[in-house]
A and B are shown apart, each in its own frame.
Chain A
């Protein structure tokens, strides 16, 4: 490892612009003639639109135009789609209801867009939006998944009778039933996974620019995957052919999944720019973000876990109902299926697993992937269940887990996944030592003497990152391939540009991707620039989500570097009259091994471009492209331990310590990996203690539509975390990387809930464990 290479704790190249206010986010963009958009949104959760009268709004100061869904439809703009086909167990395809970018006859959630106003200033656009007269016939609404399946429930889409989108299963139900029937012990539990709002601090924004002379569109947008946005807007929404549509995702202020999807606003602003002849910018405010950004989680499940007399798990059977909201968002169908049920084996050898998942429409904002996406739901279910089992069987939670750990690899689970490497015992042991598990009873006694209730809880999670390979996900219903592309462009003076289809919105790619190049070529990270986020610069890419940028994106860079290095070696061998196989790359030089003959990297680059003396038949230049399609998912895993003190007078929970022991495979930059874990833990702890999206079940109004009502974790809600790593290299990609972006959010909620329920002696507590709920649970525990 060099001082800047793989494994080095280097500070980030991109920091200076953010620290000095020079970041360039979408809302910071201005172009000549730019105007501002405000959307007219439904105030009802469910209603028929009987008329739209924009005449008063059109007369108002600064208003350029008011456009509605009928006009959009007349111009041939298509409906939004879900890109992952799931079939029900009876073989029928999922029931996708029409999602129009601007509602035409029916609105299905509070915030559903109905019209767009374009005006000289945002304030004028907003005033005029309030003056657009929309007549609604209100319909009954339903916001909860179980209620939406009931007889007589309001029906959202004619395509989906009973609001059922699909009824899907995975695993061997008969084998699971048989194991349960013959089990020594069966643990049964009901699990709620609370609905969350992702809340990246930068609200979504988009700037649509239509150039009539070229018949060309440019879309600045807050996207985690601009190439996918272009593909979908071109192929499905009929905005423009790909060669006439440039999508740029500049600095993006966090995503956490919510900026994967293509939303109505991008499409409508591009179309409105053509209709009005001016560039159109829209920026969400925070209430709009709560109303319209895809939410996460929202599962209700029951689990049965069977044990033999030796306390080995013999079966797991799960029934889950997932709320997908009013429309099917881009990857919504994959989250409660292939990103969820496939992880139900966790770290344990379970011979029989069966999951049945029903997804339903409700009058709420669409639900899609949010940090972890399906894997937090699986982990929460499994880790709450095994903890409950330990309590009921009278065995320590660590011992029960140890007894059931998978210990040899590769390991084929009964639910598709083939785990390639791991050492679960190592993380469990390290976490217990770091947390001084052995000293807990003394700390509990001390807390008791102070009138506090102290509890400790663990969670052993596994997740799957870098969803792949493309052929496999295609066979499971994915509408896209899940590879990544890279181009390594060596300039004539030896500096390097790496073009990647991954997108950085906080992950630090400008530093870590440069570290990879530094490691391989021995050049300084300052001589390497990372280019991303612009469909005109980078040919194609799948973007950043699912902790895939290291495992998949950087592996593509490795492949391109292999090609660059091979060509550079040929040139160097020719320059030094040596054999190509004797050339090694070291410290920015190409050397003939075992001699003192060297040629600096920049001279090889220059030789490639002057082309005065290249090996016979070689093309000039030094630039290579690669596409990398992984052989398998990666499987990060670890053990988290939370210790809490509950004040029985108020029900308030204090986290007194939080330990995270993770296996992420090889690490490029520990500083950045630690930051990713901290952030994931904060979001997981937020889910467990603070956060919940609440709708009024009668009216369908969103009750948590601001930071006054939705409790975001703040600095004094969180402890400092103790981290450690027990890494096993991932054999499925050239860098041995597993991914670290989501682990914290996946592993922490069950650890915390296991600790709180341990403290209060009541296992029925649901997330978020607010002081009121904890206090109530304490009263019923007495």
Chain B
């Protein structure tokens, strides 16, 4: 057994776990944050994407102990005081989700993608960047539309603030 201490959604938490426990299971079972999902066994589907130290990672591809000391943000941690994050709002506006199972991973990937590209996103780039997230319901079209809309809103807003 190992003791893991980390910061999750701004709060320091710790828990005991099996040495071999994956981070995603630690988040779901030990912390009760069930918005992060498990959809495959091979790091392909992306339903488990979280942010670790500011970067999107697949939480099924890390042991919980490897995340000790890290800053983690999960899907439960990105909406401020009940307001949807612009990416979440764009997914709703553009019907970028159906069953909702891939959605948390999609949103976490999209937030990171928009952050990394500094406003320079087009359809081809978004589709390429979504390689690691599988959705079986939407055919991706509305997800792509949502990411592009959120990108425009977030970077448009930034530019406005700077002007």
Which of A28, A201, A252, A256 is B34 in contact with, Cβ under 8 Å?
Answer: A28
Bound complex: CA A251 to CA B18 (Å): 29
Number of interface residues of B (CB under 8 A): 55
Q: How far is the CB of B106 from chain A (nearest CB, A)?
A: 10
Total cross-chain contacts (CB, 8 A): 182
Docked-complex contact A506 and B99, CB < 8 angstroms: yes
Interface residues of B in 107-150 (CB under 8 A from A): 107, 123-124, 126-128, 130-131, 133-144
Let me know if A648 is at the binding interface, CB within 8 A. no
Residues of B within 8 A of A357 (CB): none
Residues of B within 8 A of A507 (CB): 98
Let me know if A597 is at the binding interface, CB within 8 A. no
Bound complex: CA A506 to CA B99 (Å): 4
Interface residues of A in 14-30 (CB under 8 A from B): 14-25, 27-28
With A201-B136, A253-B100 already in contact, the answer to whether A716 and B93 are too (CB < 8 A) is no
Let me know if A200 is at the binding interface, CB within 8 A. yes
Bound complex: CA A693 to CA B54 (Å): 38
With A19-B88, A679-B137 already in contact, the answer to whether A253 and B128 are too (CB < 8 A) is no
Give the residue name and chain of the A residue nearest to B32 (CB). Answer: A30
With A708-B44, A716-B128, A720-B141 already in contact, the answer to whether A21 and B99 are too (CB < 8 A) is no
Residues of B within 8 A of A201 (CB): 37, 39, 45, 47, 99, 101-102, 134-137
Most buried by A among B92, B93, B128, B139: B139
Give the residue name and chain of the B residue nearest to A198 (CB). Answer: B136
Docked-complex contact A20 and B127, CB < 8 angstroms: no
A174-213 interface bits toward B, Cβ cutoff 8 Å, 1 = contact, 0 = none: 0000000000000000000000000111110000000000
Bound complex: CA A720 to CA B41 (Å): 29
Give the residue name and chain of the B residue nearest to A710 (CB). Answer: B44
* Partner-contacting stretch, out of A320-328, A389-397, A581-589, A668-676: A668-676
Q: How far is the CB of A504 from chain B (nearest CB, A)?
A: 9
Bound complex: CA A24 to CA B101 (Å): 10
Docked-complex contact B97 and A19, CB < 8 angstroms: yes
Docked-complex contact B41 and A20, CB < 8 angstroms: no
Q: How far is the CB of A41 from chain B (nearest CB, A)?
A: 15
Let me know if A505 is at the binding interface, CB within 8 A. yes
Bound complex: CA A425 to CA B52 (Å): 55
Give the residue name and chain of the A residue nearest to B100 (CB). Answer: A18
With A21-B74, A681-B139 already in contact, the answer to whether A706 and B21 are too (CB < 8 A) is no
Let me know if B23 is at the binding interface, CB within 8 A. no
Let me know if A452 is at the binding interface, CB within 8 A. no
Give the residue name and chain of the A residue nearest to B91 (CB). Answer: A19
Which of B79, B124, B128 is A20 in contact with, Cβ under 8 Å?
Answer: B79
Let me know if B151 is at the binding interface, CB within 8 A. no
Residues of B within 8 A of A671 (CB): 95
With A253-B101, A720-B123 already in contact, the answer to whether A678 and B42 are too (CB < 8 A) is no
Docked-complex contact B98 and A21, CB < 8 angstroms: no
A532-547 interface bits toward B, Cβ cutoff 8 Å, 1 = contact, 0 = none: 0000000000000000
Let me know if A11 is at the binding interface, CB within 8 A. yes
Let me know if B154 is at the binding interface, CB within 8 A. no
Q: Is the interface of B mostly helix, strand, loop or mixed?
A: loop
Let me know if A443 is at the binding interface, CB within 8 A. no
Give the residue name and chain of the B residue nearest to A200 (CB). Answer: B136
Docked-complex contact A18 and B130, CB < 8 angstroms: no
Docked-complex contact B35 and A715, CB < 8 angstroms: no
Q: How far is the CB of A692 from chain B (nearest CB, A)?
A: 16
Docked-complex contact A286 and B142, CB < 8 angstroms: no
Docked-complex contact B42 and A706, CB < 8 angstroms: yes
Let me know if A97 is at the binding interface, CB within 8 A. no
Let me know if A707 is at the binding interface, CB within 8 A. yes
B31-66 interface bits toward A, Cβ cutoff 8 Å, 1 = contact, 0 = none: 001111111111011010000000000000000000
Q: How far is the CB of A748 from chain B (nearest CB, A)?
A: 10
Let me know if A508 is at the binding interface, CB within 8 A. yes
Residues of B within 8 A of A707 (CB): 40, 42, 44-45, 134
Docked-complex contact A708 and B100, CB < 8 angstroms: no
Bound complex: CA A203 to CA B36 (Å): 14
Most buried by B among A121, A256, A716: A716
Bound complex: CA A283 to CA B18 (Å): 19
Residues of A within 8 A of B3 (CB): none
Docked-complex contact A25 and B101, CB < 8 angstroms: yes
Which of A285, A672, A721 is B95 in contact with, Cβ under 8 Å?
Answer: A672
Residues of A within 8 A of B123 (CB): 720
With A285-B41, A675-B98 already in contact, the answer to whether A718 and B103 are too (CB < 8 A) is no
Bound complex: CA A712 to CA B143 (Å): 17
With A708-B44, A715-B144, A716-B131 already in contact, the answer to whether A254 and B101 are too (CB < 8 A) is yes
Residues of B within 8 A of A679 (CB): 98, 136-139
Which of A21, A287, A712 is B136 in contact with, Cβ under 8 Å?
Answer: A712
Residues of B within 8 A of A714 (CB): 130-131, 134, 140
Let me know if B16 is at the binding interface, CB within 8 A. no
Bound complex: CA A20 to CA B9 (Å): 13
Residues of B within 8 A of A713 (CB): 139
Docked-complex contact A706 and B40, CB < 8 angstroms: yes
Residues of A within 8 A of B126 (CB): 715
Q: How far is the CB of A289 from chain B (nearest CB, A)?
A: 9
Docked-complex contact B42 and A708, CB < 8 angstroms: yes
Residues of A within 8 A of B74 (CB): 21
Q: How far is the CB of A642 from chain B (nearest CB, A)?
A: 14
Bound complex: CA A254 to CA B137 (Å): 7
Residues of A within 8 A of B13 (CB): none
With A12-B92, A721-B141 already in contact, the answer to whether A716 and B127 are too (CB < 8 A) is yes
Interface residues of A in 635-660 (CB under 8 A from B): none
Docked-complex contact B75 and A254, CB < 8 angstroms: no
Q: How far is the CB of A664 from chain B (nearest CB, A)?
A: 16
Docked-complex contact A678 and B100, CB < 8 angstroms: no
Beyond contacts A15-B92, A707-B134, A715-B135: 8 other A-B pairs, Cβ-Cβ < 8 A, are A21-B34, A21-B36, A123-B21, A200-B136, A251-B99, A505-B99, A706-B42, A707-B42
User: Which 8 A-B residue pairs are closest in the complex by CB-CB distance?
Assistant: A21-B35, A18-B100, A253-B101, A506-B99, A682-B139, A678-B139, A506-B98, A707-B44
Q: Could you pull out 18 A-B pairs where Cβ atoms are within 8 angstroms?
A: A12-B95, A20-B79, A22-B35, A25-B34, A27-B34, A27-B38, A123-B18, A201-B47, A253-B100, A285-B40, A287-B41, A507-B98, A671-B95, A678-B140, A678-B141, A679-B138, A707-B42, A714-B134
Interface residues of B (CB under 8 A from A): 18, 20-21, 28, 33-42, 44-45, 47, 74-76, 79, 84, 88, 91-93, 95, 97-104, 107, 123-124, 126-128, 130-131, 133-144
